[in-house]
Chain A
Amino acid sequence: MNMLPKNLFQKRRQKQGPGRTATPVRPRAQRGAFNLRGRLLLVCGGLGLCSLALIGRAVDLQLVDNEFYRKQGDERFLRELEIPTTRGMITDRNGEPLAVSTPVESIWANPQELSRNPDRLPELARALGVPADYLTRKVLQRSDKEFMWLQRRMNPTTAKGILALDIPGVFSQREFRRFYPQGEALAHVLGFTNIDDLGQEGVELAFDDWLRGKPGLEKVIRDRRGRIVENVDLVQPATPGRDLTLSIDRRIQYLTYRELKRQLLESGASSGSAVVLDITTGEVLAMANVPSFNPNAVELGNRDAHRNRAVTDTFEPGSTAKPLTVAAALEAGVITPHTLFNTSPGWIPNGRYRTTDTHNYGTLDTTGVIRKSSNVGASMIARRLNDQQFYDFFHKMGYGSSTHSGFPGESPGSLPAPSRWSGTSKQTMSYGYGFSVTPLQVARAYAAIANGGRAIQPTFVKGQASESKQVFDPAIAHEVMKMMQTVTEPGGTATQAAILGYHVAGKTGTSRKAERGGYTNKYVSFFAGVVPVDNPRFAMAVVINEPTRGSYYGGLVAGPVFHNVMEGALRLMDVPPDDIDAWLAAQAAAEAKARGGKPAPAFANVAAGVAADDEPGNDDVQAVTP
C-alpha cells in the first residue's frame, strides 16, 4: 500500500518530462498551461486504485477470511455460559429422601472495588462473623486482585442478608451441596460426593452416571463489565440428574445400625457389620457398619471408617459354613437327616492336628451336628464327600466369587480350589476355616437356602430383581431349614436369636482370627439366619469383629442383634407370625403368672433373650496350615 503513491509520482515525471521541454519557457504561462487531463487522470487513477485496494481488503475480510474475523468479533462479546444443574435425589424404597442436593450460596468479593470503600468493611465483617481487622488485612493484601472468596457454602438466607447490605464489590454465587438426612446410619451404603459433586464412594460412585445431571450451555451477549445484555440462544438444555430409588428401607436400616452400635459398645468390639436381604427378590433392605462417619461433616474423618465392611471385608465364616457342608452331603446322597455320627471323645484327627469340640457330644444325628455346632460331626460329614463335590457346592452357593451387587470395591472373598488344598483343607473348611467370605455373601447363601435352593443376585436398587437360579434341590433346602430351626430352639446355640411368634432358622459362628500365619486369641462372632421358616421373608447376617468384653460366642454376641432387628423388621413389614401357638402359650403363661400361679415356662425366658444353653459349639481350631 505504501509503495503505491511513490510509483505514481515516478510515472508522472516520466510522462511530463517531454512536455516540459517542448513548451516555450515562460514561468506564468507554464503554470497556467498545466496538463489538466493528466492531473485529473492521475487523481482519479490514484483514488480508483485506493478504492480498489479497499474493495480488495473488503473482499478479503468479508469473503476470504470472514470466518476468522467473525469468530474474533464474537469472542469479544458472545459468551457460552454453563447452566448448572442438580444431582438426582436418592430415596429409600418408600420414597423417603436419603441424599438430596440443595443450593448453598458462596459469597465472593472483588477486592479492588471493596478497598475503595474501606468504611463499609467493619459492617461486612460483622455480617460474616469475622473480626474487622482480619477482614481489612485480607482485603488489603489482595487489593490488586479481582476475586476472593469471603465465605463458601453458606446458608442462602444468611447470604441474602449479606447481599442486602448492598456493599459494592460483594457478590454471591450458587453452588450445590449434598445432604444426607440419615447421617451415619446409612453413610457406608450411600457413600459421598466431592466438592465438584462427583460420586466418590458407595452408591454415589456406582450410580454416578445416572445421578449426575448434564449441565446445559447457553449463548449470551455480554458487555465490557460482564453484565448479560441479551440471551441469544440455547445451545444445549440442562438435563437434571435422575432420581434413584434404593432397595433400602430407612426404618430397618436405622434399627440395624442402632442395634449394631449398641452391641459394639456392650461387647467392646472393634467393628461390626450387618446385612438384611429380602429373600425372594434379593434386595438389600439394610446394610450397616460400625464404626461409621457423618457424611454431612466437611471433614470426613478417619478413612478406615469409610469402608463398607459388609461387602469389602472378608472373614472366615466359622460354623456358619456347617449348614452348607450338610447340604452338600445331602445333595451327594452320602448322608440322610437321620445318619448318626459318634463324635466321642470330642476330637478327631486332621493330619497332624486335631479338630475338637468344646464338649464331648457323644452320638449326634445330622440335625444334632447343626444344633450343637459340632466340629467333629462336620468333619465326619465332609470326609464322606470327595474334594470336588465339596468345592463345587460351596462355589455354587456364591462363595469365592463376587455377588455382582454392583457395589464399588466389593470383595469376592477367597475359596481355594481343590488343586491348592493340602491334606487338611477339606476337613478344616467343613466348619468354616481356610476360606473367607463377606457378610453379604453369607446373607446371600442363607437366602438361597431359605428360598428353596434358588440363588439370587443381591441388588441395591428397588425393583431390579434378577432371575433366580436353582442351585440345589428344594427338598434339601427344606431339610436344612428344619435343622437350622433347632439352633434357636431350646438346646441350640443361639436361643438369643429366637423371636416369639416366629420360627427362626439360623446358625451361629465363632471363628478365631488368623494373623501372621497363626490363629490368635481374637475372635469373630457370627450369626446368620432367616425368618420366618414358613414362607421366609428376610435373611440376615451379623458379624461382630473382635469382641473384648464378656463372651465372644456368636450366639451371645451376634444373636441378640439378629433378634432385635428382625423382631422390628417383621413388625414393620407386617409379616404374619408362623408360630402363633407359642405366642398364645406364652400369653397364657404370663396370665397365669400374673394371677400368682406357676412360673412362666422356659420359652418365655427364650423370648426375653436369656441364654438357656450357652454351649458355644465350635471353638479351638489348632493352627491350620494354610
Chain B
Amino acid sequence: MNAGHVVLGVLLAANVATAIGVVYARHEHRQLFVALDRQTHERDELNIDFGRLQLEQATWAESNRVDQIARTKLGMKFPEGAEIEVVRP
C-alpha cells in the first residue's frame, strides 16, 4: 500500500462524508424553512388580528358616536358659563 492509495482512500472517504453532509444540510435547511414559514405565518396572523382589534376600537371610539351617546344616552352637556368656576392660578 503506497502513498497514492492512502490519498485515494482519504479522498474517497472525504467525498462520501461531504456528500452526506450536503444531504444533511439540505434536509435541515428545509426543516428550518418550514419552521420559519410557520412562524412568519403566525406573526402575520397576530398582526392582522391586532389591526382588526385596533380598527374595532377606533370604530367604537368614533367621535361622532361618542358625541351622540354622551349627549343622548348619558345626558352629558358642555358646562354653561355659570357652571364654570374660574380660579386665579
Contact = CB atoms under 8 A, between A and B. Distances in A.
Interface stretch (A93-101, A298-306, A332-340, A530-538): A93-101
B69 interface: no
Contacts of A500: 81
B64 A185 contact: yes
Contacts of A103: 48, 52
A152 B52 CA distance: 18
Interface stretch (A35-43, A196-204, A229-237): A229-237
Interface string B35-60: 01100000000011001101101110
B88 A580 contact: yes
A232 B32 CA distance: 11
Contacts of A254: 63-64, 67
A604 interface: yes
Contact of B84 (A182, A240, A587, A604): A587
Contacts of A576: 89
Contacts of A127: none
A108 interface: no
Contact of A185 (B55, B58, B63): B63
Contacts of B67: 254, 258
A182 B63 contact: yes
Given A181-B62, A185-B64, A102 B55 contact: yes
Interface in B17-34: 30, 33-34
B33 A234 contact: yes
A100 B88 contact: no
Contact of A231 (B37, B61, B84): B37
Contacts of B82: 590-591, 594
A584 interface: yes
Contacts of B52: 102-103
B47 A86 contact: yes
Interface in A579-625: 580, 583-584, 586-587, 590-591, 594, 604, 607-608
A580 B86 contact: yes
Interface in A197-240: 218, 230-234, 240
A231 B33 CA distance: 7
Contacts of A142: none
Contacts of A86: 47-48, 51
A179 interface: yes
A250 B63 CA distance: 8
Contact of A587 (B47, B61, B86): B86
A169 interface: no
Given A86-B48, A102-B48, A584 B64 contact: no
Contacts of A218: 37
Interface string A56-96: 00000000000000000000000000000010010000001
A100 B54 contact: yes
A251 B48 contact: no
A154 to B, nearest CB: 14
A254 to B, nearest CB: 4
Given A231-B33, A584-B88, A604 B81 contact: yes
A122 interface: no
Interface in A92-145: 96-98, 100-103
Given A97-B54, A500-B81, A584-B88, A181 B59 contact: yes
B62 A179 contact: no
Contacts of A100: 51, 54-55, 58
A233 B33 contact: yes
Contacts of B47: 86, 240
A431 to B, nearest CB: 36
Contacts of A230: 30
Given A86-B47, A584-B88, A590-B81, A97 B58 contact: yes
Contact of A234 (B36, B57, B86): B36
B72 to A, nearest CB: 15
A135 B9 CA distance: 73
A96 B34 contact: no
Contacts of B86: 501, 580, 583-584, 587
Contacts of B63: 182, 185, 250-251, 254
Interface in A232-264: 232-234, 240, 250-251, 254, 258
Interface string B70-86: 00000000000110111
B63 to A, nearest CB: 4
Nearest to B54: A97
A59 B76 CA distance: 88
A179 B81 contact: no
A230 B37 CA distance: 11
Contacts of B33: 231-234
Interface string A563-591: 00000000000001000100110110011
A288 to B, nearest CB: 12
A101, A102, A583 — most chain B CB neighbours (10 Å): A102
Interface string A423-434: 000000000000
A250 B57 CA distance: 14
A587 B51 contact: no
Contacts of B37: 218, 231
Contacts of A182: 58, 62-63
Interface in A279-337: none
A231 B34 contact: yes
26 contacts: A86-B47, A86-B48, A89-B51, A89-B54, A97-B55, A98-B58, A101-B51, A102-B48, A102-B51, A102-B52, A181-B61, A182-B58, A182-B62, A182-B63, A185-B64, A231-B30, A234-B36, A258-B67, A500-B81, A580-B86, A580-B88, A580-B89, A584-B88, A587-B81, A594-B82, A608-B81
Task: Return the 3 tightest CB-CB contacts between A and B, nearest first.
Answer: A181-B58, A254-B63, A100-B55
Interface of B: 30, 33-34, 36-37, 47-48, 51-52, 54-55, 57-59, 61-64, 67, 81-82, 84-86, 88-89
Given A100-B58, A102-B52, A103-B52, 13 more contacts: A96-B61, A97-B54, A97-B58, A102-B55, A103-B48, A181-B55, A182-B58, A230-B30, A231-B30, A232-B30, A258-B64, A586-B81, A587-B85
Interface of A: 86, 89, 96-98, 100-103, 179, 181-183, 185, 218, 230-234, 240, 250-251, 254, 258, 500-501, 576, 580, 583-584, 586-587, 590-591, 594, 604, 607-608
